[in-house]
Amino acid sequence: MKKTGLLLLTALLMIAACTTKKTEQNPFLAEYNTPFDVPPFDRINPGHFVPALEEGMRQQVAEIDAIVNNTEAPTFENTVLPFEYSGKLLGDVGRVFYNMNSGNTSEEIQAIAREVAPKLSQHSDNISMNPLLYSKIKEVYKQKDILGLNAESMKLLEETYKGFVRNGADLDSVKQARLREINQQLSLLSLKFGENVLAETNVFELVVENPEDLAGLPASLVEVASQKAKEKGQEGKWVFTLHNPSVMPFLQYSENRELRKKMQQAYVLRGANNDERNNQENIRQMVNLRIERANLLGYPDHSSYILAENMAKDPKTVYDFLHRLWVPTMKVAKAEAIDLQKMLQKDIQGAMLEVWDWRYYTEKLRKEKYDLDEEQLRPFFKLENVRDGIFDLCDRLWGMKFVERTDIPKLHPDAISYEVTEADGSHIGILYMDFHPRASKRGGAWMSSYRDQMCATDGHMVHPVVILTCNFSPPTSEIPSLLTFDEVETFFHEFGHGLHGLLSNTTYQSLSGTSVPRDFVELPSQIMEHWAGSPEFLKLYAKHYQTGEVIPDEFIERMQAAAHFNQGFTTGEFIASAFLDMDYHTLDKPLVGDVITFEINAMNNVGLVKEIVPRHRSTYFQHIFSGGYSSGYYSYLWAAVLDADAFEAFRETSIFDKETAARYRHQILARGGTDDPMNLYVNFRGRKPSIEPLLKVRGLN
């Protein structure tokens, strides 16, 4: 241990000596001098990251040494607070780097990520397993009941102490050494997993040469595919990809069953093909290393280790919750499959419904039963109109204003930046939004930050800098970006996360914004989805992109009538992934054998309808293998109970009720992780949540 620490310190000192001369050239190591002190993206290049990260580690080592070497008796003020505020440079650089690796990566950035991952893991472990630092933290914790701390400071002390224990501070030196090895291996495996999924998504192209093979596809999708073909030097053809705005409408509308099969198979086999991008071994190693780490820390399995910090607390509670939803969901899904099979029989006598048929016949059945076609709705959901509608909602509820700023540096030219203010003009924070797919951006949608809200050591407010990254249907030379309603809900969802970060009002960074248990963090995002489809709000923002016509009442009525349509599939594929996540992470013995076989057995055990596959199959399940949601994918459904019940508070008054909105802001959004999440919820709602509103919303009651 001492030898390792000495080598690390020597290396850091050598790095510092080598990089001191470069300080003036490295924008991370100087004042930003940008509006609102946002990162100077226009001056950052990949070569800046390693020196800046290493300087950040060196500075934090010095800060930790100062705490450890303080000869005064440990107190909250001289131990816990300086630890909380340590590592500022490292955090600033790390947030920029990992946002770039997710949103605008390159081979050079990915190589840097692989280089720095073990260094950062070692640095983190050096701190969390520092016996002298831990002894001081522990000494303060023992005195917590006589320190007279306020509630937030008490929460900080408790979480700090618990963080050391959960990261191995109580282990002996042999176990700590093994834990370090595990953490480094996991950091690299996670990176590799994500890189493989991105590469698999980018490499596949379905090139259509015969116009007859475009039958059924929306004109907007065909135009995007034509534009993509031109970019690829294949003018006169059409190129479809595995990015969601391409693959999903293709599966919904293509009349060519063989091409649907080809697209579907390519999508669900990402990371499972027999090539260098196969993720099965990465999964096996991650699952087994997580078991070993949990055992080292005194837990029977990884899930028990993770859930101890969540609202659910233990695997049994999660399984019971999922099964309660699963039974009615599969009943509905089986009925849906029968209806779709009947439609297929009309087209192809004797054919059996397959995975690649479900979305296609669902759209046909939706049209038949409700006279509703998603393509009819898209013209009313121009991206800019949806954005302005969200801004209007925030103004109605909280008086928030969003002013576009063109003078602020940004990560990529596609991004748009806004200053966010209160009604009186006082500054809240900066919001970036990056909407469309590109090869350098991983799939999906997420919220992150470049700076978290907190109070600095001198007491002044540090305002947040938040980014929302999405992969929405892109515009073409002829048509603006027109969103599906699913994309509309995704926009509202991510904006809810953004509000959680922007409206945070805490003292400590580690408790601010989205720093809450995983199964509580989706409440602020998912409650926003309820506004997206509310009839009274649809009429305010859903306007035809050409005529300005407000979405007709008949369309809204059809949307409402179809609200429960296909919920067996939608909820079923989601719960299936949640079961898969839990099954991997409740293993208490090493995973052996084929990963795909494990997945098939897991789905057979719960009785998943054969025509449905999990929303995320194992080999591209980034949430749990490259995204921080291991043993946490259930949390979207757990939070759905909270958000359905919470939105009832608005319905009981008005969905624009300012008093309810103020209570929600102050009791949920502003509080971050400063209290137990159930306390926060009860403070807002006046009682614990009920599952009945969720069953009602999804038509499962």
Active site amino acids: 494
Q: How far is CA 311 from the centre of its chain?
A: 18
CA gap 325, 1 in Å, rounded: 49
Could you tell me if 7 and 123 are in contact, meaning their C-beta atoms sit under 8 angstroms apart? no
DSSP, residue by residue, 66-117: HHHT--SPP-IIIIIHHHHT--HHHHHHHHHHHHHHHHS--HHHHHHHHHHH
With DSSP H G I counted as helix, E B as strand and the rest as coil, what are the percentages for the chain, rounded to 5?
60, 5, 35
Q: How far is CA 678 from the centre of its chain?
A: 22
CA gap 339, 633 in Å, rounded: 30
Provide the 10 A C-beta neighbour count for residue 439.
13
CA gap 307, 317 in Å, rounded: 10
Provide the 10 A C-beta neighbour count for residue 275.
11
DSSP, residue by residue, 616-672: S-GGG-HHHHSSS-TTTTTHHHHHHHHHHHHHHHHHTT-TT-HHHHHHHIIIIITTT
Cα separations (Å) of 61 from 49, 181, 214, 470? 18, 20, 60, 36
H or E element at residue 462: strand 461-462
Provide the 10 A C-beta neighbour count for residue 240.
27
CA gap 258, 261 in Å, rounded: 5
Nearest partner of 97 among 33, 135, 51, 146, judged by Cα: 51
Cα separations (Å) of 52 from 11, 598, 634, 690? 14, 42, 37, 49
Helical axes 257-268 vs 244-253, angle rounded to 10°: 140
Beta bridge partners of 504: none
Nearest partner of 412 among 432, 388, 383, judged by Cα: 432
Tell me the pairing of strands 427-434 and 465-469: parallel
Give per-residue burial for 650-678: e unless 16+ CB within 10 Å, then b.
beeeebbbeebbebbbebbbbbbbbbebe
Q: How far is CA 448 from the centre of its chain?
A: 8
